[in-house]
Each structure stands twice: as C-alpha cells, then as structure tokens.
Amino acid sequence: KVIEIAPAPTLDEAVRDAILADAVKIAQHVNYRNAGTAEFLVDSRGHYFIEINPRIQVEHTVTEEVTGLDLISLQLHIAAGWSLPDLHISQERIQLRGFAIQCRVTTEDPAQNFQPDIGKIEVYRSPGGNGVRLDGGSGFTGSIITPHYDSLLVKITCSGATFEKARRRMLASLVEFRISGVKTNMWFLQRLLSNETFIQGGCWTTFIDDSPELFTVTKFRNRAAKLLTYLGDLIVNGCRIQGQVTAPGSDLQEPVLPTLVDAKGCTVNVTTAPPPGWRDVLLKNGPAAFAQAVRQHKGVLIMDTTWRDAHQSLLATRLRTHDMERIAPTTAHALANAFALEMWGGATFDVAMRFLHEDPWDRLDRLRALVPNIPFQMLLRGANAVGYTSYPDNVVYEFCSQARKHGVDVFRVFDSLNYVENLKLGIDAVRKANGVIEATVCYTGDVYNPEKHPKYTLEYYLDLVDQLVALDIHILGIKDMAGLLKPRGARLLIGAIRERHPNLPIHVHTHDTAGAGVASMIACAEAGADIIDLAIDSMSGVTSQPCMGAFVSALEGTEHDTGIPTESIAALNSYWEQTRLLYSCFDPGVKASDTSVYTHEMPGGQYTNLLFQAQSLGLGSRWNDVKAAYTEANRICGDLVKVTPSSKVVGDFAQFMVSNHLTGDEVISRAASLSFPKSVVEFFQGYLGQPVGGFPEELRAAIIRDAPKIDGRPGASMKPFDFDQLRRDLEDKWGPGSIRDVDLLSAALYPTVFDEFQSLRQKYGNLSLIPTPLFLSPLEVNQEIQVQLEVGKTLIIRYIALGPLHKETAKRDVYFELNGEPRIVSIDDTAVQPEVQARVKADPSNKNHLGAPMSGAVVELKVAVGDKVKAGQAVCVLSAMKMETVVGAPADGVIETLDIAFGDNLGAGDLICSVKSS
C-alpha cells in the first residue's frame, strides 16, 4: 500500500452503497461489535469481499479527514461499552467533506525494488499548514534507522474540497519535506501523484507494476547537506587542499571590489553592459578578418594573464573561479581595449578538478557570461590537448570544438618540442572549430648568442615560423616560457620575423624570472610585435609575466600606446593585492628575481611548482642542487625546448638525480640499470613527439630497453577514441543522463582525476560557489555565514559546536544551524584510527565485485571461497525490516574472496565477495 484516497474519486455511488451495505451485513451476520476494516476489490463487473480486519487499519486517517470523526477515540469508547447514541453518532449524521489523500513516507528505495535503507537521519524537516496532517513514526533529526523495525517514518494526510486540491496539497507537502541521511520513497510518491492516469483517477491494482516510468529516479541535489559536510570536514580535519606552503590564516577576508572611474572621473556602473571590445570584431568578421584588424591596429595590444598563467606561476594554479567571477564585470569594463584574457587551458584544466574540486567547463561558461566583450584565450598543448601525453586525434578535435562552443576564442597552439607534426594537428583542430589560430614557437636558448645552444639559431626560428605561416595560421605566438628572451635578442628575433612576414600579427609571451621582462617586452613592441602578455601589477614579476602597469606607463603617449588607462589597472590591482594575500598559503615565497634562470632555463610556470614538489619530497634545502640537476638533465636529454609536458620530463629527471645522488655522467653510464621516472621513459619512447635534432640514441636505447619506440607523431598510430563506450561506462557508474559531452572529454583526458572529482562533487556538492575564506579556513564557534547557491537561494549557516570523538568509528558530530534549524553532520576524524574497522566497499567500476544491494543482516550463506558460480547464482541472503533479499553473483567464475560471515550487519555497497572470471 502506497497511497490511500477517500472517497475513491471514480467509484459509482451505487457501487459504494452496495459495498457499505455488504460490509454491514457481513458484520451483523457474525455478530461483530467493534471498530473494524472491511476490504473489497472492485472491477467493471462488480465488487468482491476480501476480509474484515478486527481493528482500525493505517488508512483510517483519510476516513477521519473526510468524515470529521475521531475513529481511535470512538473505538476505545465502543470497547468500553458505549453505544453509538451515547456518542451522539448515527449513520445519517455522517457526511462526506471533500477528499483526503494519505502517503506513507518510508526509508525504502523504489529504484531498488523498495529495499529498505538504514542509517542516521541528518535532516528532518516536515511540512505543515491547513489541510496537512502528520502521523509520526520514527523520523526526527538524529534518529537511527536500523534494519530491525518497520521502515515507516511518517504518514502524511492532505485534504481539500476536491480531489485535485487534495492532490496538489500533497505534492506541495512532499516538495516541502526534507529528509537526508537515508533514502526515502518521496521522489517516487511525487512521480506517482503527478502521473496523468492517477490524476484522472484511472489506476488499477497493478498500476505501479505496469508503469515503469514511475521508477525514473528523480535526483535531488541536497546542496545544503553536502556543503555542511565540507564545512564540517574543514572544522574537524583542517584544510586538505594540496599545495599549501603554510596553513591558511584564521582571519581570511574576501577582497573588496574596487570602484572604477572613467576618463571624466565619473564612477562606472560595472553591472551594465560593458563597452564593445575585440570579441565583437571577431564575432562580426570571423577569425581571419579579426587577425588582420589586430595587425592594422595602431599601438600595442595587451593580453592579461592574471586569470591563468600568472596564478599558475605564482600560486601553484590554485586561483578559484569564485574570485575571478567577482572581479569579472569590473574587468570587462576596465580592460575593454585588451586583445584577450588568458583564462583557460594548460595546467588550470586538471588542477581545477584535481585540487580545487571545480569543473573547468563550468568556469569557462560562468566567466564567458560575465565578460562578453573581451576575447578569451586558452593554452592548447597541440596534440596533447591539455594533458601530459598524446591522445587519439578525435579527442583533440572534439576538445577544440567543445572549447569553442563554450567560449574560447583564441587558441594558443604550441608543442612542447616545437614538433611541427604535433602542431599541425592542433592547428587543424582549431580551424575546424572556427577558432582563432595562434600557432606558437616555443623559445629557448639565446638567439643573439647561440654558441651555448647551437640548435636554436635565428635561422632555426625563422624556418619554423615559415612552416607555420604555410599552414595558414591567423596569429604567430612567441612563447618564452623561462624569460630567456633578452632585449637585444627580442629586437633581433621579432625584427627578423616582422621583416619576413609584414602582415603577420605577432604575439609575445614571456616570464619575468630574471627581472628583465618589461625591458624585453618594450623591445618586442618597438621591433614590431602587435600583442604583449602582461599581468596585473600585484600578480606580476618574478616567475609570472611582466608588470602591466609598468609596461603601459612606459609606452603611454608613444606610438605604441596600449589604450589601457593606468587608473583602470590601479583599480584592478587593488583587488588582486588582497586576493594574493588570501592565497598566501600557496605562495612558495619567491621574493626576488633569479638570473640563474639563464643557466637552468626553468619555465616560470614550473619554477614554483617544482620548488613545492622539492619541498614535499624533502629536497627543499637542496633547491640549488635541484636547479643544477635541471641543467644537467636538460643536457642529457639533448637540450630540449622546455615547456609542459617536456619541462615535466626534465623536472622529474632532475629530482630523480638529486634524490639518488646521481651526476649526469653517472646517469649516462648506468642508464641500462636505473629505474627512471615514467615521464622520462615515455619521452625517450617518443610519446611526446620528436625533439629538435632527434634523440641521443645510445642513451635512448639504454633507457627504454624493450619498450616500444615511436618515430613519428604519436597520435597518428592511435585508434579513434570510443566516446560512446565511455559514456556507457560513466553512466553505469554515475547514473543515466548524468554525463555531459564535456564530461566525456574530461574523463578521456584525465580518467582518474575525473573519477575522483565526481566522487568529491557527490560528497560535497559544487564547492566553487562558496567564498574562498570558507573554502580554505574552518569556521569559528558561533560564526554565522551566508552562502548564495543561486539567485534567490541563500543559506544562512551558523557553526554551533564540535562533538566528542566516537572512538569506535573515529567520527565527530559537528552541530550547525541551517536557516534557523538544527543540523548534525558526522565527520571522519582522519587523525584517528577507528577501534572498529569499517567494512571494505565494493568498487562500482569492478564488474567482479559484489556489493550489498541494501543494508541488512546476513541470514544465510550459500557459497564458500573456491566455489564455482554462474552470474546471478545465489551467494547469500540479506534480511532487513522483515524483507529478505537473495543476492546473486556478479559474473561467471570462482569465488576468490568472501568478505562476509553469517550474522554480519552490512551497509549498502559493502563488499560481499569478489569473483575471479572463468
């Protein structure tokens, strides 16, 4: 029984009268004198007696609501000897008053054949109001639902003048009801009440079994409960975001948004539509005309890297979407004349999922909506997309297509080895996506003094540029990853390219590690560069890009004037000064320039990350040794172009050498017996492509040994990626309809990272919505905060107290108030081992694991280790809440492990056994 209705909305009055008359007749025949419940079945041919129960049934509430009688009180009085006249009741005086519907809310999961669930109720907020009646069971916040009692939590009875009014009131009550911590049938009740057949009163006895559409699971986001779980974990265990150099402060504050003024000194309303920008030119005229407009522009254009490479180089790529989103409307006005904002791709893609628990595609969508006028630029690693290895070609093509659809305008396409075959793939993928192709030459060495790096001469770079121009690119990028391009080298290189290709837009990127960045970029501008990469002042310098304010001020009033008001830069800088302090726990503390970069040639984006890695590996005191080993590793590899992922190869190699106290010569002499990092082995196999001048073949043979060798573009030999199969696999794991097209790309590029991200999002929800102080630092007792989930939905949260440690489970209860109502969240204390070990969970992705389909006790075992089983063959029987379930084997094979015993109490998902496939 799921829903009770009184009176039956489509029952003919004559049939009703006949049923009532037969009920009285049967009771009189057996001389029955008490309250009772007579049951009949009705079909088109008549009605049929089933039974009379000598008691009032659970559906009595609907009768009470439509008659106004208190049946429980009447039953007790009758049993005590009162008569109906004594109670002033007669059949004639009983009149029906509208309709009533009763729903039974249980801890049963309709998606699992109504199997009962157990656990602790974390949230219990019931509905109320006129026409809503609750007959409570075991439901309240904090109550423990065990497998030993009935699964009923509460009966809701709603009444109304008409059946439709009663139905709508019941739907509203179910929507208002909040229960979390255990599964319930409320979503199923809502679907049933919304079913057209039910609305028309045309149900039949097997209606639920005959209507599979009722079992289409309605997913509830439970955003508040998930957020409280994260805040509780932060209180119990502290901030666990990797990459911290120091612990986050306890008094973190959100940066104050600046006030922007125009040239007349009037305040700019940044909530209004921003002025037209270069994106308007792109959308109107297309990529080729856009590029030519850039070339014909008088003055130098700038690209702001603050949203990507600046924080990657200074703060380990830890800048969150929330803090970019807050300043985005101001940026759209302040930098309306900018060529672009670099804000996506490179390391930001995987770091967003891996460490910040954010979706990189959501970041792109949200920022695009706030900045419609300035082009967005991303960093595309050619055939590596945004990964660290090569992928099948169709992955790169689909990635570029989706990135373009979601808001990327300009694609900086580079290859970490300047390998043209890899570049061709990325260029073609961007062209097919209708993006702006910025094909990029990665710069290393010293073009003005090539003796140290004889491979990287002016002729080498000009020849590479010629090859790229022949591919019909839109813009040429010069990517100086380590800041090695000195002013005189800049004049030589950019001047030569400009002379050879007068109509080609040139875009230059550098890092300011040595401190000469501004001077070098001014030299580039004077030599003919059209676009220069810069970062907002407080996010610039050292391993980041050169200072925007200094560059703009230096060229102000000249023929190279950028058109960016210094007042606008100052306004943005006030925000980023505060933001950098907010993220100081991720700042490795590079305080000044380091001219040794001209020797070790470490990319700026890698410098801070490698420093942190060295500290994590216990090599922090040997940082100078790591830098020296980086130089040696580069020499051993053949003097590489160093940019992700080739720079990672050199960095891993260097740390390997320092950890094992190896010199370069020792590595070469002992290469055949050493266990090298995976990235190094794959590089020498050819998984990144072919380096300039080829591999040192003797060393290559010693390192890769019997591993396969690739002598061409790696992706060319890869089979197309099966996105359809990936979607099936992911939806099997995360639910039908839960996987977007962009999720397929995230999973194809980073399968393990995506899997972990999905697990954390299911546990904590969308953490990108909460302010950064709350993301990094635990709440103080009695601290009250507000979190806006969306427009019109704000949570008011107060932290009340932290409960004592439960030694058996190593959990602590954290007490909150959420919108004025108490909430309790149980959190694992990771610093303590539980006295009672938790059961192992089945891996949903392992088809040979058998997990418990529900919580319950093991009442029968039907197999032992070593037994042969067929798929579906009974393994055990579970019992919960008066229901027994036979659990079948997941596959044909042999029972490899049996992880349960008779009498064990299992939770849903606990590992029952593993089967070794036959």
Q: Which of 213, 148, 224 is nearest to 181 (CA)?
A: 224
CA separation for the pair 38, 194 (Å, rounded): 29
Sign of the dihedral defined by the CA atoms of residues 853, 857, 859, 861, in that order: positive
Nearest in space to 308 (alpha carbons), one of 395, 369, 245, 367: 367
Question: How far apart are alpha carbons 223 and 85 in whole angstroms?
Answer: 56
Radius of gyration over alpha carbons of the chain, in Å? 35
Q: How far apart are CA 866 and CA 480, in angstroms?
A: 62
Known catalytic membership, residue 55: yes
Give the residue among 357, 319, 360, 125 at the shortest CA–CA distance from 226. 357
Question: Residue 538 in contact with residue 573, Cβ under 8 Å?
Answer: yes
Answer yes or no: are the C-beta atoms of 454 and 728 closer than 8 Å.
no
Cα–Cα dist 859/745, whole Å? 45
| Eight-state DSSP code of residue 632 | H
Q: Helix or strand or coil: residue 438?
A: strand
The position carrying tokens 């957020």 is: 227
Q: What 3 state SS string does 179-206 have?
A: EECCCCCHHHHHHHHHCHHHHCCCCCCC
Helices 548-555, 517-527: crossing angle, 10 deg rounding: 40
Residue 95, CA atoms < 13 Å, CB-side half-sphere: 3
CB 540 within 8 Å of CB 512: yes
55, 97, 240, 728: which one is catalytic? 55
Cα(906)–Cα(277) distance, rounded to whole angstroms? 61
DSSP 93: G
Q: Return the structure tokens found at 288.
A: 């080729």
**Among 464, 473, 522, 534, CA closest to 496:** 464
Separation in Å, CA 312 to CA 39, 385, 668, 757, 865: 72, 18, 33, 20, 52
Residue with tokens 């003048």: 161
Indicate which residues carry an active-site annotation.
55
